[in-house]
Structure formats: C-alpha cells, structure tokens
Chain A
C-alpha cells in the first residue's frame, strides 16, 4: 500500500525530489522520521493530557483516590455544577470576574501603553533608538517571580517606593495590596510594566512596514501629525493590532504567578484568578476532578477568544 503512493499519480515536481521523499525506512517516508520525535512528545505530553482532563473532570479524583483508586467515583457533571452554580460557585465566579477584569482592563491598557511607547520611539526626533528599545524591552525578559517579589515591596504601605512617590506629590498613601479595590489594579500596573515592551516591539515592526509614501501623501494633503496617526498609522496597523490584542488577552487569561507570589489571591479573594483556582484545587488540595473542571472552562474560554481572533483577522483582511 505504501508503495503505490498517490504522489506517483500526481505529476512529479522534479525527479530528484521524488527520489528524496521515496527513500523510505521501515516503509515510512523520511518526513515521518523527522517529525516523529517532536510529534510524539507533543502528543504524549500535551495533547493526550489535555484531552484526559475532560475525563478527569467527570470524576471526583482526590487525595483519597490517589491513595486508593477504589475511592474514585464517576460524578458526571457534578464538578461543573459545583463550580458554576453550587458550593464553589462564589469562588469560581469571583476568580472568573477578577481574571476578566485583568484581561479586559489590563490587556487594552498594556496594548495602549505599548502603542504609546512605539509611537514615541518611532518618531523622527528620537536619538539612540536601539538603546531605548533595549531598555524598554528589559522587563520582558526578567523572571516574573523575582519581579513580583520586588513589586510586593514597592507596594508596601509604609516603606514602599510607590507610596513614597505618591507622598512627594502630596497624595495620600494607598494600601496597594491590602485593599481589595486596589490589589488588582496594582497587579495590572505591574503586568503593564512587565509586558509592554513585547507588544511595543511587534507594533514597531508593524509601523516600519508601513510604506513612507503613505505618510508623504498625507503630508502633501496637509495632514498634521495627529491626523497622520489617525488616518494612516492606525488603519495600517489594523491586523497587527488584532494579533497583539488577542494574543495578549489569551496570555492574560493565564494570570497566576503574580497573585501567587504577591497576594496569594487576597485580600478577600480580590486577586484570585482562574488559574490560581485550578492550581489550588488541583495541586494544593488535590481535588483533581474539580480542578479539571476549571481547566475545561479555561480551555473553553481560550477557544472562544481564539475564534474571536479568527473572526477579527477575517474582517481585517476583508
């Protein structure tokens, strides 16, 4: 069967190429051997477990089941009932709400800051563009855990740099991480600082690919810098924006290390995120069934976001 491959029915592109791909080992084309190791790893250690989490989510797999599988029960959709409407629902919806706040406030804010910095850097007046780019990008490569610890101290009510700075402007100190209203904004501020450089670089690339003629034409029409930005830069950046926006949001949905290190989800669960909920359910209390239900929900949300991206890209392309 492998011998009469459909390739032989199709017109050959070149003799040599056919020879290359027909040199089989154990009846398999070389392409298979080249891809097999990577595919095996990805399948075994990513795709299979991802699917298995659906199975796990309909069981009450917990620490007792880990000790003795006879303590494992099939519970149907009970885990979902518990997190969506049942006993755990309050924590779940709080976590989802917090995560959405982080995504839909922090995400756009991040992109806006990235855009601002990209515009400033791209301006003709800028000197030492390369050095500045490196500086602005530096927070991206730092270790999230380490900078979270730093920021926890920067946010300290009494001795922290942040309140010290506010004080010098005559502003009352803020209990950044201790006040349920301020904790998530504080984490967003840190996330913006940590991440804006990444999108800035992508937006810079997008801007550099805008042909100069467009700007020149706009200038000839007498457009000022603001109108050039509004009518040339922004529309041309459309697809880049869609890409940046959606990847940022998907990434922000996975908020974990910041609250884990800085607040442990507090105060009053105001920084409790969806992934933190999954982690605590799964790897702190070892309720793997319930945690898998959270994972499945996370999966579903990401899927919706990805479809959103596709739709946006189609619209941008059209």
Chain B
C-alpha cells in the first residue's frame, strides 16, 4: 500500500557507462588490486557504529564455516548512517548486506532498495518468524512483505543511581509519572549547582516520542497522510516533557555538548537518564569499580495506572539490497548471525540484546541483573510509525521540543507548527498514495 511502484525499466536507473569506459578503467586502476574473480566471493557488509567492530570475531567464525565467502566489514557511524545509506543508494554504491535500523525499513523498501525476503524465510526455513519477538518481526514487514531479519532488539529504559535516589528518600524506582516527578524534585533539591536530576539531551526525539506512546498518541493519522502531534494525547506527553526542563530537573543541553556522560553520572551530576541497552556495557566498562551496586536499570514509569509504561520497539535488522549480485552468499551471513548461539556471542561482545528468543534462555542473559528491566520492558513496547518519511519527521520532533524548552514558543504552538511541517513532509506520500489508488481503480 505505502510502497511506490517499482521500476520495471531498469535502464532508467542503470547508468550508461560505455562511453566513459576509460574513466572507469582509470578508476579501477586507482582503487587498488581487486581479488581475482574465482569461486571465491567477497561480500560487502555495512555495520553501524560499534557493531562493526564487535561482529568481527563472528565473521571470522563465518569464514571458517564458509571458506568460499569473504566478508568485508565496513563501519559507518550512527550519526551519519542514514544519510550515508541514502547517498550510497543514490550513487549506486550500496553493499550486499547491511545492518538497518528497523525504523528505516519502510523508507528503503519504498525506494526499491531492499530485496524481498519472502522466498527465503518461512515457518519451516532456517530463518522462521516464530523464532523472533513478534513485535520486532512485525517491524520488518511492509505491506505483508518481509524485508529484514531482526538482528538485535532495543528499547529504552531508566538508568539511575540507586544510592542517590535512596539518599533522596526513594528506595524503589518510580512507577508513575507523578512519582517520578516527585523523586526528581527530591533529588534536585540535594544537587549541587550545575547538577540535575535527569539527563535528557534536547536533540533526541526518542524521549518525547516515547512519552507520546505512553499516553497512547498515534502521532500520524489517515494512514500516515498527516501529522497528529497537536492531538490531545501527544499534547499531554509533550507538556510533561517540556515541564521537566521548565522545572530545572534536566539541563537544556544537546548531546553534542555532553562531553563525558560517565564521569558526570559517577559524580552524580545527574541521577536518571533514559537510554538503551548498549549503555549497560559502556557503564560497566567506563565507571570506576567503586560505582558497583550504586546504579541500576528499571522499566519506564507510565503516565497513569499501568506499569511499566510503554517504550519503543527499536533495534536493527539485517537486510539484502536488490542491487547485490551476491545475494545467496550474503543470505548465508544473515542466517549465521541470527542463530541463537551467535546471538548470545554477539550479546557478550556488544551488549546488544538478541532478537532470537532462544538466546534469552542462556545463563549469560538470564542471570544479568541489569537485563531484567529490559526483559520486562520488551513486553511493553510499540513500534514507531512505519512511513518512509519517519526519519525526517523524527528530526522535526526534537526541534519542536527544543523550541518549547527554550521558551521560544508555547508547547501547543510548537506542536501546531510541527504538524504543519509534518504535513509538508508527507505531501509526496499523499500524492503517491493517490496515484496508487488511481492505478488500482483503473
């Protein structure tokens, strides 16, 4: 439904290269010695962020199992991943297999970059839907077609200093917004100047969006044709978000300005932060030993009765690109990386939570106290809106938040502006949906 028509005429996309053969030759000469084309296949695997390093030992194992396939790993940083991938698509230089944030799948499938995996997955195949968390599997499906296999799952929970929270008079993590605010105020009263109760960078859209999910906001309406941020539900969440800064419980700074989160956490410059599983590993490694037992994780507090509050179903999938001529070899890598044993190993190496449910039974995961919160939280997640423009929309969300936080506009005004911008972003989508409806009517 949301997909645009696929190009039948490949000539439209393929460059006519004949006349620049000499340039291409020079380019080839320039780009170093390529391995000779024998039975040996080399596949390009783009991994995002630290995953690129952490997956290397697994790839070595893969090489031993599949001596005729060589995997070249490229590491692209998170901050630039989305634009680099789109640029690679635009420049016909996509790899064979890639790690893709599951919020990006709708977008990359809409432009025809992703390979349909229907032929490769199924209840009785090596990669079967029932092996994975259902919500996360669902996030890889666009119009009934699977485009990715979940590699790891991700959601956001509360990280907090148990000692400082206890000193402020709270023995357990907050379960509801009111309780949380109370706890933050109590903590704030004890803070030295420059210290805060919560660290919540103003240029991250995840937090306001999660609060919105908690109040039941859909954020988009009419099958993703228009923005719905100025609706009542998101409004309540947004007020909560902005008030935290208003009250001075969180510093009004963006994450480019947070120079040493661990040092600040250790010094107690903030007591709470909302972040993801990768930070369990980071906190363990970077905090000094004396910090042991002084911090913990907890599921997010919810706005009203239910606990835990909703969080977002994030994570990354592995996808094949349509442009790849080596899809079979690349698929072998995907099969390998999503098996339970490799998932446990990958968890141990990277701290990324396995998408394969079987992996969660291993003692390494079951016995980790910091993971318990994630296990509970994963039961209460919702997927983000699955429209190709989501990434653009998300970038506008924090801008609206920042404007309200700094008092430039009233929160309601910021949200009305946000909806206008979102509607503008979605204009092409509305046109294409209309075209599609027209095509179906004919």
Direct interface between A and B, CB < 8 A: yes
Interchain CB contact under 8 A, A180 and B406: yes
- Contact A68 B12, CB 8 Å, known A63-B86, A153-B259: yes
* Additional A-B contact list (20), CB under 8 Å, known A87-B424, A284-B82: A62-B428, A63-B107, A64-B110, A67-B110, A68-B6, A69-B12, A71-B432, A86-B424, A157-B257, A158-B194, A159-B259, A159-B260, A177-B256, A178-B254, A266-B256, A267-B203, A267-B406, A268-B403, A268-B408, A283-B83
What B residues does A70 contact at CB under 8 A? 5, 7, 12
Fill in one digit per residue for A116-159: 1 if any B CB lies within 8 Å of its CB, else 0: 00000000000000000000000000000000000011001111
A62 and B107 alpha carbons, distance in the complex (Å):
13
Are B86's CB and A266's CB within 8 A?
no
Which residues in A have their C-beta under 8 angstroms from that of B417? Answer: 90
Q: B256 and A264: CB pair below 8 A?
A: yes
B173 to chain A, nearest CB (A): 28
For residue A82, CB closer than 8 A to chain B, the reply is yes
Residue numbers of B with Cβ under 8 A of A are 4-7, 12-13, 82-83, 86-87, 89-90, 107, 110-113, 194, 202-203, 252-254, 256-257, 259-260, 392, 399, 402-403, 406, 408, 417, 420-421, 423-424, 428, 431-432
Residues of chain A with a CB closer than 8 A to B431's CB = 73
Interface centre among A63, A180, A262, by most chain B C-beta atoms within 10 angstroms, is A63
The answer to whether B83 touches A284, judged by C-beta atoms less than 8 angstroms apart, is: yes
A-B contact pairs, 23 of them (CB 8 A): A63-B107, A63-B111, A64-B110, A66-B89, A67-B4, A67-B13, A67-B89, A67-B110, A67-B112, A67-B113, A68-B4, A70-B7, A90-B417, A158-B194, A177-B256, A177-B257, A178-B254, A264-B203, A266-B402, A267-B202, A268-B403, A268-B406, A283-B83
Specify the chain B residue showing the minimal Cβ separation from A68: B7
- Assembly CA distance A159 to B421 (angstroms): 37
Contact of B254 among A60, A69, A266 (CB under 8 A): A266
Interface hits, A173-227 → B, CB 8 Å: 175, 177-178, 180
Q: Which of the residues A68, A73, A283 comes within 8 Å of B5, measured between beta carbons?
A: A68
Judge whether B256 and A68 touch: CB under 8 Å.
Answer: no
Known A71-B4, A152-B256, A177-B257; contact A82-B83, beta-carbon cutoff 8 A: no
Question: What B residues does A180 contact at CB under 8 A?
Answer: 406
Complex formed: what's the CA distance from A62 to B426 in Å?
12
Q: Are B253 and A175 in contact (CB under 8 A)?
A: yes
Which A residues are CB-close (under 8 A) to B194? 158
- Chain A residues with a Cβ under 8 A of chain B: 60, 62-64, 66-71, 73, 82, 86-88, 90, 152-153, 156-159, 175, 177-178, 180, 262-264, 266-269, 283-286
Kindly report which residue of chain A lies nearest to residue B83, judged by CB atoms.
A284
- Asked if A286 meets B86 with Cβ closer than 8 Å, knowing A267-B202, A267-B406, the reply is yes
Q: How far is the CA of A69 from the CA of B5 in the complex (A)?
A: 11
Q: In the complex, how many angstroms separate the beta carbon of B393 from the nearest chain A beta carbon?
A: 11
Do A285 and B4 touch (CB < 8 A)? Answer: no
Residues of A within 8 A of B13 (CB): 67-68
If A64-B428, A71-B4 touch, whether A87 touches B420 (CB-CB below 8 Å) is yes
